[in-house]
Structure 1
Amino acid sequence: MSSNQHELAEPPSDAISALKFAPNSSSRLLVSSWDRHVYLYDEHEGQPNQLVRKFEHRAPVLDVCFGKDDDEAYSVGLDWDVRRIDLTTGEQSILSTHEAGVKSVVYSSEHDLLISASWDKTLHIHFPSDMISHVPNTVPLPAKPFSLSLTPTKLVVAMANRLVHIYDLRTLALLCSQSSQPPPNTTELEPWQHRESSLKFMTRAVACMPNDAGYASSSIEGRVAVEWFDPSESSQARKYAFKCHRQASDNGMDIVYPVNALAFHPVLGTFATGGGDGVVALWDANAKRRIRQYQRYPASVAALAFSGDGKFLAVGVSPGFEDGEEVLGEGEVKVFIRELGENEAKGKGAK
């Protein structure tokens, strides 16, 4: 591996589900895993990204995010619970319980909203600062959610059956606030936009642009779509999709891999994709061009995350069983931290 990249010691023992950098630190990283733990890494005794603490759960953890600061986290998974974790004391508390596994969780600092998405086809809307008296609101969904992403003003929910809902966060916060008890009826909680994915196959991941203009989504069939929120005809005419994470085989047919992970650079607005082929690539959404592709990782890329300052890219690697093997080998789960050069993630037309 490259000299500007290092591998974390003491990685999870089972497949990685998510990676998240702290909002105010480029050395503080959360990793969630199917081994039923959330891992906290941070600088220790002058060494970056050392394992600080593990937080055990009752079942595999499918997602994790930071809360209002670098010492608060939220996790969800196959125990059906939405949990708050105090990263300093290790204390865990349950905010709500869904009726099936919980796939995703995101926190909006602008609106103090925590949103979880479950395979019971619901969103739970929480107000973490008012958990003593607040009962989370439930928003029904038309299909199972696969991925969540948000901007300061929008929430994007990618679901089965190629469905996409876009919510206005200010409206969602207003309708679900304590002052609106009893909970609003479901018609009031209708999304700002209903969309159908531009991709023909099942959505794997969704990620919003940092400039609040739109989002990218990826599929199991080696494609990525880029779309804009603006519903005008001229803006919608800009949307496009492209093929990626494919390999030519000896018989001339492409071997197609799922695009498991998407992450936008928080400063430059370019984005990274991670595939079942073990490849991470950087793309310029506006120029519709690939910026660079890194040396292949030892297994499927399961998760990606940029640090808040955009100087680091975390890459979670674990077997995706694309080769038909269903047994996880020892040492196959890895987390790499790549330090980006000044122009490494810069778009083709950027100054």
Structure 2
Amino acid sequence: MAYNRSQTSTISENPKDYEVPQPPTDGISALAFSPTSDFLAVSSWDNNVRIYETNAQVGNATGKSMYSHEKPVLCVAWSKDGLKVFSGGADNAGRCFDVNTQQAIQIAAHDQPIRCIKYVDQVNLVATGSWDKTLKYWDTRSQSPALTVNLPERCYAMDVIYPLLVVGTAERNVQIYNLVNPNTPFKTSSSPLKWQTRCISCFTSGNGYAIGSIEGRVGIQYVEDKESQSSFSFKCHRDVNNVYSVNAISFHPIYGTFSTAGSDGMFNFWDKDSKQRLKGFNTVGAPISATAFNRNGTIFAYAASYEWSKGYIQYSGKNAIYLHSVKEDDVKPKSAKKR
């Protein structure tokens, strides 16, 4: 089943958003808001993680902290108390930055770059997914992993809403874990999409996930077999002549609706339950590489940054972070319309 755009009367508009000063100097790989404040952590290919304090009314942002990896940083996440930032990078290292002391220490190590990092607050562990085909869990007080799980291929995407953890790997593999028993996958499957996995985001309800691919398509997948008939896929981020990668999917923390953002430089808000696009926005002039909602869903941050999908010939030096003030009507679920 696909979204029927005729179901919605939304008209795409030009985003008029606040541009964060002093952005990264190279590609922006990930964004993450603190769960306790409007602090935004940003990882970049310039080897640094930056932390900005943003304004709830969207109109101000100030750089607060910065720490470094030895090579490009590919992922970033926060602790539940908002006092620590975790990041992983091409230096094969996972690091923890203490917001109060302004000190960073290494807490994780892999044989190849760490592509994904998440904090699992219920068990106070950091999960790291790597191109070395392993998923590791770390107690930050120990230099050895608490648990190592082998993956079928390189980790490309990962998300967690306890007890659900979903990993997307190369060759379109999807590993679904129940963290009550993290040693073995609860379910192993192939992506419902035909092309390479680009991003994964768990439903806020924890009973499924959205998966995006390089061919402008998103899959809405329910985990339990009894709900599997509700799973579907739909096309997005494409026009008459081109198909663009879906680079980021973020769920609204209050309403459970979600955003998609792509290499076409556009972002949209969607409602999976009524199968409607709630709001669309015109291109920002550069691919959108990462997105995040703040803790109460009033700010939507997105990064305009070239993601090398067209090689060096099409290189664009633009690296920018924008803050979009979220209107409730744009993200609030709507009743399903009759066909």
TM-score for both structures, normalised by structure 2: 0.90
- Give the corresponding residue for 2:137: 125
Seen in structure 2, the aligned counterparts of structure 1 residues 161 and 344 have a Cα distance that, compared at 3 Å, is same
- Give the corresponding residue for 1:342: 328
How many angstroms does 1:326 deviate by?
Answer: 4.3
Which runs of 5 or more residues in structure 2 are unaligned?
A: 1-13
How many angstroms does 1:80 deviate by?
Answer: 0.1
> Is 1:143–1:161's contact at 8 Å kept on the other side of the alignment?
yes
How many angstroms does 1:110 deviate by?
Answer: 1.9
Q: How does 1:162-173 map to 2 (within 5 A)?
A: 162-172=172-182
Which runs of 5 or more residues in structure 1 are unaligned?
A: 173-188, 249-253
> Is 1:20–1:305's contact at 8 Å kept on the other side of the alignment?
yes
1:158 aligned to 2:168?
A: yes
Q: Does the residue aligned with 1:278 lie in a helix, a strand or coil?
A: coil
- Give the corresponding residue for 1:200: 194
1:49 aligned to 2:61?
A: yes
Seen in structure 2, the aligned counterparts of structure 1 residues 62 and 347 have a Cα distance that, compared at 3 Å, is same
- Give the corresponding residue for 2:91: 79
Cα distance in 1, alignment partners of residues 221 and 51 from structure 2: 34
- Give the corresponding residue for 2:300: 313
Seen in structure 2, the aligned counterparts of structure 1 residues 21 and 34 have a Cα distance that, compared at 3 Å, is same
> Is 1:81–1:98's contact at 8 Å kept on the other side of the alignment?
yes
Cα distance in 1, alignment partners of residues 80 and 25 from structure 2: 29
Q: How does 1:83-162 map to 2 (within 5 A)?
A: 83-128=95-140, 131-132=141-142, 135-162=145-172
Q: Does the residue aligned with 2:46 lie in a helix, a strand or coil?
A: coil
- Give the corresponding residue for 1:224: 218
- Give the corresponding residue for 1:255: 242
The residue type paired with residue 212 of structure 2 is S
> Is 1:111–1:170's contact at 8 Å kept on the other side of the alignment?
no
How many angstroms does 1:287 deviate by?
Answer: 1.3
How many angstroms does 1:325 deviate by?
Answer: 4.2
Cα distance in 1, alignment partners of residues 149 and 61 from structure 2: 37
> Is 1:96–1:136's contact at 8 Å kept on the other side of the alignment?
no
The residue type paired with residue 265 of structure 2 is G
1:244 aligned to 2:236?
A: yes
Cα distance in 2, alignment partners of residues 14 and 80 from structure 1: 19
- Give the corresponding residue for 2:270: 283
Would you say how many aligned residue pairs link Structure 1 and Structure 2?
A: 321
> Is 2:34–2:78's contact at 8 Å kept on the other side of the alignment?
yes
Q: Could you tell me the percent identity over the aligned residues?
A: 33
How many angstroms does 1:329 deviate by?
Answer: 4.5
Q: 2:43 aligns with which of 28, 32, 36?
A: 32
How many angstroms does 1:36 deviate by?
Answer: 0.4
Please tell me the root mean square deviation across aligned C-alpha atoms, in Å: 1.8
The structure with higher relative contact order (CA 8 Å, sep 6+) is 2
Per-residue deviation, residues 60-118 of structure 1 (Å, max 9, x unmatched): 00001001322201110100011111123221111121000110000111221210000
Q: Does the residue aligned with 2:162 lie in a helix, a strand or coil?
A: coil
> Is 1:198–1:225's contact at 8 Å kept on the other side of the alignment?
yes
Cα distance in 2, alignment partners of residues 312 and 327 from structure 1: 31
Q: 1:14 aligns with which of 12, 16, 26?
A: 26
List 4+ stretches of structure 1 deviating above 6 A.
none
The residue type paired with residue 310 of structure 1 is G
Seen in structure 2, the aligned counterparts of structure 1 residues 165 and 43 have a Cα distance that, compared at 3 Å, is closer
How many angstroms does 1:135 deviate by?
Answer: 4.1
Q: Does the residue aligned with 2:330 lie in a helix, a strand or coil?
A: coil
Q: Does the residue aligned with 1:124 lie in a helix, a strand or coil?
A: strand
The residue type paired with residue 242 of structure 1 is F
Cα distance in 2, alignment partners of residues 68 and 111 from structure 1: 11
Per-residue deviation, residues 239-276 of structure 1 (Å, max 9, x unmatched): 1111110112xxxxx30000011101111111100000
Q: Does the residue aligned with 1:247 lie in a helix, a strand or coil?
A: coil
The residue type paired with residue 170 of structure 2 is A
